Structures are given as C-alpha cells and as structure tokens.
C-alpha cells in the first residue's frame, strides 16, 4: 500500500523545491520550511543512513510520511528522509499572515534562527520596521531590506502596526485578539498520560485515568486542528510509552508547545479541582497561566491554579511545556463531570483559547 503510493508520487515529481510545490502537491502532504543551513537529506530515517543531499535555510519540502523524529520526502525523485528538528510547518503563513513589526529597543540582535544560540547577522534599532513572515516560539522571522531573512526576539518588537503603541494600544490590542485567532503554523505535541500496562490514577469504581485521558485528548486534538494547528499525539491508543519517549518526540519535532494531559487521584475523596503545572518558570509559567485560566472559566470544577513541579516530561523537555491535571477521579463530583462529553469539549476549548492567548498576545 505504502510502496505503491511512493511509486506513483515519485514518478510524477522530480523536484521538491519551492517553485513546484504549491499547486502540484497541495493535497499530497504538509509543506515544511527548513530553518537551518546544511541540513542533511538521507536515504533512510537514521543518522547512519547515506547522505544524498543537503537543504538550506528557507528551502521547502513536502512531507509524505513521518517516523518519530524523521520525515519522508522526495529529493530529485528519490525517496528521502530528513530529521524534523529544524523544519517549520508552512500553512500558507507567509502569504496570509504577513504583518508589519516595529522594533521597540536599540541594538536588538538579528539572528540566523529562532533562538539566542543562533549566529548574529546584524542589529536593529528602536523604530525600525520590518515585514514579519513567520513567528515561532517567541521569535519573529522578518525580511530585511536586501530581501534576505533574519530572526528577532518577539518581546523586543511590537506587532500592533503603530509607532506609538502607548497611544493606541487599547484599540490595536482588540483588533489583534480578534484577527489573531488562528493557530495555523503552530506544532502542538499532545501527550495523553499513561496507557497500556500503566493505568495511571485509579478512581472511584476502578476508573482508570488512562481511559478518560484518551477521550479528552481526542477532543483537544480535534479542536486544535480545527484552529489550524498541527497536532502530534505521543500515543493514539491504549498502549504503553515511556516518559523518555514522550520527551524525545517533543524534542525531535519543531514543537511550539508540549501539553501533557492527566487526571488526578488523592486518598481523601474531598480533594477536587483542576490545576496546570510548569517546571522552568518564564514562558512555561505564562502558558500554564493562560491555559489554566481559560479552562477554569469553562468548566465547573474548582480552580486550583498553576503550580511548579519537576515532572519528567516537563523537566527534560527543551520545548515550551505544561502538564494539566484535569480533575480528581477520586472525588465523586469531579468524576461524574469529567466523564461527560461536554467536559472534554470545554477542556478542549480552554486549551485552544489558552494557546491562542499565549501565541497571539
Ligand atoms: Zn497521570
């Protein structure tokens, strides 16, 4: 089945680069853009496989299959695999969401990639304006005057389109909130806790955490996709997956946010409510707050707030990451509530809204 599809596609298309992609491949697979130079193209999904070519920053490819940490594309007509670490999903972002940004500080570094580990290309000054073509985990990709691209920290820029943000921030913020409602271009790793031999918490009547979680995760995944996000699930069914593997999946993709979903248990039946955990503070804490408050507004369970804890999937994660405890299955009221479709729906709405508020602020 798979082989056949490969042959048909391989015969049809010889090149994978930008100019050929938009019309021809539109329905065949997701388009990704390379975010680094000298990215190896290999004959198989392994670092030991033969290198058959290289891609550079800004090159695009279409993905036809995924194995954890690798994507399958075509390179000059040949089946090829590329590590997914430096790939950014392209969902028409460059044409639809172009906006003007204004630099709000002096001597702001322009870099080759989205993060302080990337090389410095030059500097921008307060009041400089650029066209932003993409945003990735608090970094903006901008077009310089010579047509080349660079990345700039989003917290040192203003996207309201005004050089006087203080005077008009209220109106502009409203406009931004309403029009910036999409999660297109964001890669979200959803991590339904436990599974298989690990039932997670066991609640009243022998209810397993791992089962309720899957219903919740399916709903959250659907609503995230409806909002335009690319969703990667660490597990799709009732099977065991180690914590290390969950983190590896998050770190292997260009993940904009990792969200682990759980239900809680406690020896005392009286303990109840929803809480969101972060590990490292900073951005993680901000996202945890956005998600917690969005969910708390939509569900009838007690709001236990955000908390810091060194969960493995947060502690070892290189990406923005939070863990949500969606209620106590040892509390009769919580358990009755969290088993309903309405609850899963409300949680999903809360997660989507929290992410939108975080990324589009
Ligand atoms: Zn759990």
Mean pLDDT check: name the lowest of 138-142, 256-260, 327-331: 138-142
Topology at the third CATH level for domain 93-167: SH3 type barrels. (2.30.30)
Distance in Å, CA 42 to ligand 1 centroid: 38
Please, which residues have CB within 8 angstroms of residue 157's CB and are 6 or more apart in sequence? 101, 102, 103, 104, 108, 132, 140
Q: Of 264, 273, 259, whose CA–CA distance to 207 is shortest?
A: 264
When pLDDT is averaged across residues 257-271 and rounded to a whole number, the result is 95
**What are the extents of the domains in the chain?**
2-90, 93-167, 187-359
When pLDDT is averaged across residues 176-192 and rounded to a whole number, the result is 73
More confident residue, 96 or 198: 198
What are the backbone dihedrals phi and psi of residue 86, each rounded to the nearest 5 degrees, phi first? -110, 25
Distance in Å, CA 323 to ligand 1 centroid: 9
Return the H-helix or E-strand segment holding 94.
helix 93-96
Distance in Å, CA 288 to ligand 1 centroid: 17
> Can you give the pLDDT at residue 237?
92
Biggest CA–CA distance in the chain, Å, is: 66
When pLDDT is averaged across residues 260-287 and rounded to a whole number, the result is 94
Distance in Å, CA 277 to ligand 1 centroid: 12
Distance in Å, CA 326 to ligand 1 centroid: 10
Contact 199, 209 (CB under 8 A): yes
Query: pLDDT at residue 292 above 80?
Result: yes
Query: pLDDT at residue 174 above 60?
Result: no
- pLDDT grade for 191, boundaries at 50, 70 and 90: very high
**Could you report the per-residue pLDDT of 140-149, keeping only the tens digit for each?**
888 776 666 7
More confident residue, 79 or 170: 79
Fold match, 2-90 / 187-359: no
Distance in Å, CA 234 to ligand 1 centroid: 14
Could you confirm whether domain 2-90 is CATH 1.20.1250.20?
no
Which letter does DSSP use for residue 293 in this model?
H
More confident residue, 282 or 344: 344
Angle between helices 209-226 and 341-359 (to 10 degrees): 50
Residue 178 CA to residue 297 CA, distance in Å, equals 19
More confident residue, 4 or 252: 252
What are the backbone dihedrals phi and psi of residue 277, each rounded to the nearest 5 degrees, phi first? -110, 145
Query: pLDDT at residue 202 above 70?
Result: yes
Distance in Å, CA 269 to ligand 1 centroid: 17
**Could you report the per-residue pLDDT of 226-238, keeping only the tens digit for each?**
999 999 999 999 9
When pLDDT is averaged across residues 63-71 and rounded to a whole number, the result is 80
Distance in Å, CA 262 to ligand 1 centroid: 4
> Can you give the pLDDT at residue 94?
33
Domain at 187-359: CATH architecture: 3-Layer(aba) Sandwich (3.40)
Which letter does DSSP use for residue 304 in this model?
E
Mean pLDDT check: name the lowest of 64-73, 301-310, 324-333: 64-73
């Amino acid at each position: 089945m798979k082989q056949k599809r490969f042959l048909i596609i391989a015969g049809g298309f010889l090149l994978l680069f930008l100019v050929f992609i938009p019309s021809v491949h539109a329905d065949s697979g997701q388009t990704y853009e390379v975010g680094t130079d000298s990215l190896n193209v290999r004959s198989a999904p392994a670092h030991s496989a033969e290198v058959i070519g290289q891609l550079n920053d800004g090159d695009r490819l279409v993905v036809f299959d995924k194995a954890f940490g690798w994507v399958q594309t075509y390179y000059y007509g040949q089946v090829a695999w590329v590590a997914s670490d430096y790939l950014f999903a392209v969902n028409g972002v460059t044409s639809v969401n172009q906006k003007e940004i204004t630099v709000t500080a002096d001597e702001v570094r322009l870099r080759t990639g989205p993060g302080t580990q990337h090389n410095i290309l030059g500097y921008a000054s307060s009041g400089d304006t650029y066209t932003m073509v993409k945003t990735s985990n608090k970094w903006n990709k901008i077009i310089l005057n010579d047509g080349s691209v660079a990345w700039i920290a989003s917290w040192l820029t203003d996207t309201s389109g005004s050089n006087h943000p203080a005077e008009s921030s209220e109106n502009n913020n409203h406009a931004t909130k309403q029009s910036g409602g999409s999660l297109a271009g964001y890669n979200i790793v959803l991590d339904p806790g436990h599974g298989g031999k690990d039932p997670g918490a066991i609640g009243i009547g022998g209810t397993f955490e791992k089962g309720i979680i899957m219903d919740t995760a399916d709903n959250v995944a659907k609503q995230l996709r409806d909002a335009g996000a690319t969703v990667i699930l660490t597990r799709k069914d009732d099977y065991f997956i180690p914590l290390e593997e969950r983190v590896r999946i998050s770190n292997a993709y260009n993940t904009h946010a990792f969200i682990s979903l759980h239900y809680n248990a406690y020896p005392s039946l009286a303990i109840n409510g929803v809480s969101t955990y972060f590990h490292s503070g900073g951005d993680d804490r901000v996202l945890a707050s956005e998600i917690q408050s969005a969910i708390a507004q939509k569900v009838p369970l007690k709001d236990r707030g955000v908390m810091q804890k060194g969960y493995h999937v947060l502690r070892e994660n290189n990406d923005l990451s939070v863990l949500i405890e969606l209620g106590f299955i040892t509390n009769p009221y919580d358990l009755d509530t969290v088993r309903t479709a309405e609850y899963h729906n409300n949680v999903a709405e809360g997660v989507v809204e929290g992410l939108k508020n975080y990324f589009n602020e």
